[in-house]
Structure 1
Amino acid sequence: MAYLKENWRKIAPGLITITLVVFQLLAMTLAIIPVMAHRMIFLALVLLVLFIRVPKNAYEKITNYISIPLLIALIVYATVNSDRISTRIVFVEKLLTIDKVFGMILIVLVLEATRRLAGNVLLGLVAFFMAFGFLGPHIPGVLRHSGFSIRTFVETNFMSSGGIFGAPISAVISYVFYFLLFTSFLEYSGGGKLFIDVAMKVAGRSRGGTAKASVIASGAMGMISGSAVANVVAVGSLTIPLMKNNGFDGESSAGIVAAASTGGQLMPPIMGAAAFIMAETTGISYGKIALAAALPAFFYYYGIFAQVDFYARRHKLDGLKKDQLPILKESIKKYGHLMIPLFLLIYYIGAGTSVMSAGLKSTALLIVLSFLSRETRMLPKKIMQALTATVAGLPAIAIPCAAAGIIISTVISSNLATKFSGLFVALAGGNIFISLLAVMFVCIILGMGMPTISAYIIVSMLLVPTLIELGIPVLAANLFAFYFALLSFVTPPVALSAYTAAGIANSDPSKTGWKAFKFTFAGFIIPFVFAFDPALLMEGNALWIAWSFLTTGVGVWILAGAISGWYLTKASRFEMILGAAAAIVLIIPTPVTDIIGAVCAIVVIASSLRKSKKLVLNKEF
């Protein structure tokens, strides 16, 4: 007993991990757990993961000791009442006192967990919407609504498949968990090392090769990791020291890694959790979303790659020597077999297999194949580490989703989305470009203070309907919001990816944030391209898709040069302004604007080429 008292914090994570994993497998394979009870127990277990962590202060210590027994009681309540909760008719059958008590307990615990994980911005936003819901009858003007009582609030958020237990949590349970499982096993088996070695071999010897390899490695790692911060740590810890040795300053090294790692949530097949929520809320298959995101993700990385190349030109940075590169044959021999489960996962998604089944089958194959090499072998200790990592990553995803669910319940019950959409259309005057700019700014501002998931969910509820009303396709409108919610990770003053990279590089966090923002800026035109024309989402005529690919590539490259202040040589102010104008004109998907943009780009390149030739002649004489 004394041992348990002293070591419970070490034992508890393992017990919760095993319980949650077994619970998820049972729910999927045997389907014996009713939906509502499943969601309640799952969220309670995730909250337990958070509340057993070492408290930061006395307040958290006290709330932990109160919360843990309450969550265990909630699990017992959900288990005992699972059939009644799942079969009762919402808003018709009587709400029992015990339902109200546990409903309020869960809501309070979700709010406290939100404060700990996402900070006061998201908590304040949830509190604002709760107040808006309760005070509805007293709000003047067009935003006035009937409001709700404590009973309806608990009914909506706790006893129905909306609110806290709505689509976002459903996506975490049905999709995100199984992809987290696969990525954790791939990481602990060593599969990510191959991506970095291949990137180094492909780009290491080129101009500024270490940074280019870092961009490629981050994109490849992004295929298996939807976490920007985790991507920074995995890639940056290896590549940032190499970049600094190669001549890149600390802020630029960290900024490049932060920018490239952030794009991981755009990279198919495993995108960020928000992509799964998009699939759940829009009804569009995850496979279609992943396919549509492929070209925007490519151009995002192409924009960073182009800026890195201009930076290397400007600072005359060489690549690595041949003997500094990894031996690719050895890497493939050690880790190559781990790519088979990844290819299988991509195949399953493309074939329309359920995400749960695809994730589990790919993970099982990965475990089996890991025994082909001594370096990758998944022995029991590694398996437990991978499982623990999976469960440890859930609070950062599930809790913001639960908090966003409270906001969603208010938006739906007050019909706020329709009212807000009408007001927004009126203010924008029906202008699509102004509406897109407004959505972009809202996404970035919201994303500064909360996780990408929360920012995307809120914008998708309030502003995406406006874009759809203006004629932008559902998928394009949602991806637009998702894209800019993601870019908040490298947008100062709160740039989480940049701050993580700055810690690795020992660079100034604020300067690193601005550098990361600069390296992503060429990619800012991409969402506008696919919002105006879904060809970049691979929809429509094949010839027009190819043309859109070409013009977007030119636009991203010319804008990257304008931002860097360098093309073939140092760019004049005229070249920078004309280059930026060319990029903007190329956004508009018409033959006339594309030709104008192309002509402007040719003028910029010709001007830079002429100056470059003059410099060569001057050096010769």
Structure 2
Amino acid sequence: MAEEKMSDKRSMPPDGEVNLQELTVEQVEKMDDDELERIGQKKKKKTKRRKFEGNLRYLISAITICMSAYHLYTAIFSISPMLQRSYHLSFVLVLVFLLYPATTKSPVDRPSVIDWFLAALSVVAVSNVILNFKRLASTGGRGNRLDLIFGVITVLLVLECARRTVGLVLPSMAIFLIAYGFFGAYITGPLKHAGFSWKRIIQHLTLTTEGVYGQILGVSSTFIYMFILFGAFLAVTGMSAVFNDISMALAGGARGGPAKVSVLASGLMGSISGSASANVVTTGAFTIPLMRKLGYKDYFASSVEAAASTGGQIMPPVMGSAAFIIADSLGIKFFEVIKAALLPAILYYVSLWIMIDLRARKEKISGLPKEALPKLKEVIVSRGHLLIPLFGIIFMLVSGYNAMRAAVIGIVLSVVCSFFRKDTWIKPLALLKAMESGALSALSVAAACAVIGILIGMVSLTGAILAMGAAILKLSGGMLALTLILTMMTATILGMGLPTTACYVLTSTIAAPAIVQLGVPPLAAHLFVFYYGILSAITPPVATAAYTAAGLSGANPNRTGFSAVRLAATGFIIPFMFVYSPELLLPAGLSVLLIIRVICTSLIGVFALSLAIEGYYERHLNLFERVACAAAAILLIDSGIVTDCIGIGIVAVVWAGQRFYTKKMAAA
């Protein structure tokens, strides 16, 4: 098996001395998400999460296990949303202040006195909402002086919590919007408003479900948390090793084998992982060395892994955290989001596969020898039962189960199925470790969601969303293409400094209504924003997935990022494809023939764009052929009969020319 071939007896290096090129799959699986997100960065701007020993470690373990147990309970037995979110926030604040140092000069082996004080203050401030929940609900969030004081404290704690976990960008934006709420009366132009008192702002942000305790934190405390926990339980079963072995068995022997293994393994792993960087390290530690061994350049090997892992966030059934917010915001079932995202995700991975195949053709890179590959039948027989939870959760979502309940059942299945064979049993300690790991992995997402609640609360209070949407429509002159381009640029720029979830929420709040006004279906508009927020993970100058992958091979991070963008070029086109050809999102009522036609023309368009970018098939394409293929790809974005026929005709001519050249050379 692949895992056995890679395993050795090396121990993990001390913290801060990790040699990325020496990591094994087994070592990577023992790392938590915070370590995975951190490694590979050339400049660590954020402080590391503390690692405790002794009683402090036991305390953190107890809190995290209780946090996961609480979320499992509320996933089964419903309680009031405000109460559920309050308990969720209190857990998050306490853990962040204990685990994340305030600065790089803060102690790393223990919380400081200030950290303990902030953790205790968090419990007190949030408990005010919990204890006075009924009174606040009956008065519509109109609190007394003590409520307002605790509200101010809560806002400050949330801002500091986000600063420690996700950086300065989100808290700075929240402070700016709060200031905008105060001083809006002094602004000229369409963003001018009457202005609000500090009491009105604090009431709105902390005593109602419109701010900190709003919809975004609600999604974090339910769907997002449960699927993170589901992923943590799958991790302890050794799921990633199964994915790697299946991918090796299917694609390892093909032309450019390890690169295609990377695409398959990352797509499979991404189907249950919401973190591009974690996906990079989990699969990249295995695939990048293999790619380099067969002759791929270091930056190209890393860019393949970065592009493939980034696409994992758009691959059903789990996708990224923002996908749950899309479903909740639009009031649709999560399965509708999964169904709509399926074909675009497949197109993305097909495009990567084609790009890799063309590069392997050009550089004459073959696959791995057959004897070095695991046998698919053996993998399925020995560990195929570990895939049952993944198929189970897909079945439940398709059957109409609530996504949160489906995640709970998935967790139960992952435990039960591990006992089908003795060598995959999950020990009780590993179950507790999964609960701890799930809680720790959820902290940064939850902190971001809490501060996003402040942003959304201020936007809704001031009415800025209407003014910003109107500004986009005015700037684009009501032209759909220009509006989409402006939205793409906004999402890409915001994504450079924000997590995917934050980028999606902010951009969709500003731009999605404008896109919908131009006749685009709401789900297509939100998925359009979602895509570009995700692709920012490989877009320089701030490309976290590309930087992490570069760390695994020692390649130049920026060169890796630009190469990843080139590989994933189709990903930047796909959102335009499903806006102009909504059939790609599989809406209800489509005929089978129309679906087949759209799929076929989309695949031809992907092939055309790949030829234009890589410039090689049977031989190097000349400039005219590359331009013609690029034009064909653009024409095939639209699902019209005329544009499809012209695009297909161009591709057919170029392909025939390439095949004629091959026959001519063979005859010679």
> Which residue of 2 is the match for residue 24 of structure 1?
71
Match among 284, 304, 313 for residue 256 of structure 1? 304
> Which residue of 2 is the match for residue 592 of structure 1?
642
Match among 76, 87, 93 for residue 47 of structure 1? 93
> Which residue of 2 is the match for residue 541 of structure 1?
591
> Which residue of 2 is the match for residue 577 of structure 1?
627
**Structure 1 residues 569 and 378: CA distance shift in structure 2, 3 A:** same
Q: Which shows bigger deviation, 328-337 or 229-238?
A: 328-337
Match among 534, 552, 560 for residue 602 of structure 2? 552
Distance 1:79 1:431 in 2: 48
Distance 1:440 1:373 in 2: 48
Distance 2:666 2:558 in 1: 38
**Structure 1 residues 30 and 587: CA distance shift in structure 2, 3 A:** closer
Shift of 1:253: 0.8
The letter of the residue matching 2:72 is L
Number of residue-to-residue matches in the alignment: 610
> Which residue of 2 is the match for residue 189 of structure 1?
237
Shift of 1:515: 1.4
2:481 is equivalent to residue 430 of structure 1: no
Distance 1:202 1:6 in 2: 43
Distance 2:660 2:180 in 1: 62
Shift of 1:271: 1.0
Shift of 1:183: 1.2
> Which residue of 2 is the match for residue 139 of structure 1?
187
Distance 1:497 1:13 in 2: 29
* Residues 72 and 226, structure 2, Cα contact 8 Å, conserved in 1: no
* Residues 334 and 376, structure 1, Cα contact 8 Å, conserved in 2: no
> Which residue of 2 is the match for residue 67 of structure 1?
118
The letter of the residue matching 1:533 is S
Match among 28, 37, 57 for residue 83 of structure 2? 37
The letter of the residue matching 1:565 is G
Distance 1:558 1:17 in 2: 50
User: What does 1:31-430 correspond to in 2, within 5 Å?
Assistant: 31=78, 33-53=79-99, 55=101, 56-58=103-105, 61=112, 63-85=114-136, 87-90=137-140, 93=142, 95-430=143-478
Distance 2:657 2:173 in 1: 51
Match among 450, 457, 469 for residue 517 of structure 2? 469
* Residues 215 and 304, structure 1, Cα contact 8 Å, conserved in 2: yes
* Residues 334 and 375, structure 1, Cα contact 8 Å, conserved in 2: no
Moved >6 Å (runs of 4+): none
Match among 419, 427, 439 for residue 487 of structure 2? 439
Match among 586, 608, 617 for residue 567 of structure 1? 617
* Residues 253 and 369, structure 2, Cα contact 8 Å, conserved in 1: yes
C-alpha deviations, 1:142-171, integer Å up to 9, x for none? 111122221111111111111111111111
Shift of 1:302: 0.8
Distance 2:153 2:401 in 1: 38
Q: Secondary structure at the match of 1:464?
A: helix
Q: Secondary structure at the match of 2:139?
A: coil
> Which residue of 1 is the match for residue 21 of structure 2?
none
The letter of the residue matching 1:325 is L
C-alpha deviations, 1:447-473, integer Å up to 9, x for none? 011001001001111100000000000
Unaligned runs of 5+ in 2: 1-51
Shift of 1:614: 4.5
Match among 453, 458, 463 for residue 501 of structure 2? 453
Shift of 1:376: 2.0
Distance 1:78 1:367 in 2: 36
Distance 2:623 2:540 in 1: 26
For the aligned residue pairs, the C-alpha RMSD in angstroms reads: 1.8
Distance 1:324 1:147 in 2: 69
Shift of 1:241: 0.9
Distance 2:88 2:249 in 1: 43
* Residues 81 and 218, structure 2, Cα contact 8 Å, conserved in 1: no
**Structure 1 residues 571 and 133: CA distance shift in structure 2, 3 A:** same
Shift of 1:408: 0.9
Distance 2:359 2:446 in 1: 39
C-alpha deviations, 1:400-441, integer Å up to 9, x for none? 111211111121112222222222112212111111111111
C-alpha deviations, 1:9-28, integer Å up to 9, x for none? 31232111122122223333
Shift of 1:62: 6.0
Distance 1:446 1:158 in 2: 26
The letter of the residue matching 1:50 is V
C-alpha deviations, 1:170-216, integer Å up to 9, x for none? 11122111111111111111122211111111111111011001101
Shift of 1:369: 1.6
Shift of 1:609: 2.9
* Residues 522 and 563, structure 1, Cα contact 8 Å, conserved in 2: no
Shift of 1:550: 0.8
* Residues 100 and 164, structure 2, Cα contact 8 Å, conserved in 1: no
The letter of the residue matching 2:320 is G
The letter of the residue matching 1:562 is A
C-alpha deviations, 1:360-391, integer Å up to 9, x for none? 11211221121122332111111111111110
With normalisation by structure 2, the TM-score equals: 0.88
> Which residue of 1 is the match for residue 18 of structure 2?
none
Unaligned runs of 5+ in 1: none
> Which residue of 1 is the match for residue 32 of structure 2?
none
* Residues 263 and 353, structure 2, Cα contact 8 Å, conserved in 1: yes
The letter of the residue matching 1:597 is G
Distance 1:488 1:346 in 2: 28
Q: Which shows bigger deviation, 286-295 or 531-540?
A: 531-540
Shift of 1:75: 4.7
Distance 2:214 2:88 in 1: 13
**Structure 1 residues 240 and 143: CA distance shift in structure 2, 3 A:** same
Distance 1:29 1:573 in 2: 61
Q: Which shows bigger deviation, 406-415 or 255-264?
A: 406-415
Q: Secondary structure at the match of 1:463?
A: helix
* Residues 251 and 502, structure 1, Cα contact 8 Å, conserved in 2: yes
Distance 1:375 1:249 in 2: 38
* Residues 34 and 82, structure 1, Cα contact 8 Å, conserved in 2: no
* Residues 291 and 301, structure 2, Cα contact 8 Å, conserved in 1: yes
Q: Which shows bigger deviation, 456-465 or 512-521?
A: 512-521
Percent identity of paired positions between Structure 1 and Structure 2: 37
Distance 2:640 2:577 in 1: 11
Distance 1:567 1:88 in 2: 69
